[in-house]
Amino acid sequence: MKAKITITEALQEVKTIDARIQKKKEFIFNFLFRQNNQRDPHEKDGGSASLIAKERQSINDLLERKISIRNAINVANAENSITIKDQSRTISEWLVWKRDVAPTLKAVLNETAARLQSMRQDVSRKGLTVTQNAPAEVTLDVIVNVNEAELAKQIENLEETLSTLDGQFSLRNATISIEI
């Protein structure tokens, strides 16, 4: 029988599965071996070897459940979209964008802004000026080849997109149902 739950509930179940597996591992490792002259503490329940085999099977079953949950989430993420400003992508694409694209984009934009700021301070100490356009005559002025207002706007847009995206992920995780 398939159960229908939200992605938020499914993600919580994955955390619970991980915690259960950890407890089962601890049980297995605590009773993995004993000296021959020691009594088996699980003799009444069929012996430690039997209980360990059951726990190992239980771990395998939990891992299969985890695969089913993750797969159902992946399918839902591929089928549902989020639109931020004029950009529409599937949730899967947004997750890749956030993990792989946004950090690189953010680093490039922020380093560009930092280098421009550093250059401005250096130029100011030297008594030179910074200009956007090359003057008609040759001077020692420093020409900036980037529209700094546009750069600041891009940095702001990126931060806004990331913030909006986090809210949309939370909203979608709470409202999209999956079958497991």
**How confident is the model at residue 137, as a pLDDT?**
72
Span 45-70, pLDDT tens digits: 999 999 999 999 999 999 999 999 99
Residues in the chain: 180
pLDDT in tens, 105-152: 999 999 999 999 999 999 989 888 888 877 667 677 898 999 999 999
- State the pLDDT at residue 110: 98
Q: Do 70 and 8 sit in the same domain of this protein? A: yes
Contact in structure between 144 and 112 (CB atoms under 8 Å): no
Taking CA atoms, 111 is separated from 103, 105, 106, 115, in Å, by 12, 10, 8, 6
22 has a pLDDT exceeding 80: yes
For range 98-107, the mean pLDDT: 98
Of 60, 79, 98, the position where a domain reaches its end is: 79
Q: Is the pLDDT of residue 29 over 80?
A: yes
User: Could you tell me if residue 179 is inside a domain?
Assistant: no
Looking at the structure, tell me whether residues 53 and 133 fall in a common domain.
Answer: no
Strand ranges, E, within 14-111: 81-84, 87-90
**Predicted model pTM:** 0.82
For residue 15, what are the domain limits?
4-79
Question: Packing angle between helix 48-79 and helix 7-30, nearest 10 degrees?
Answer: 160
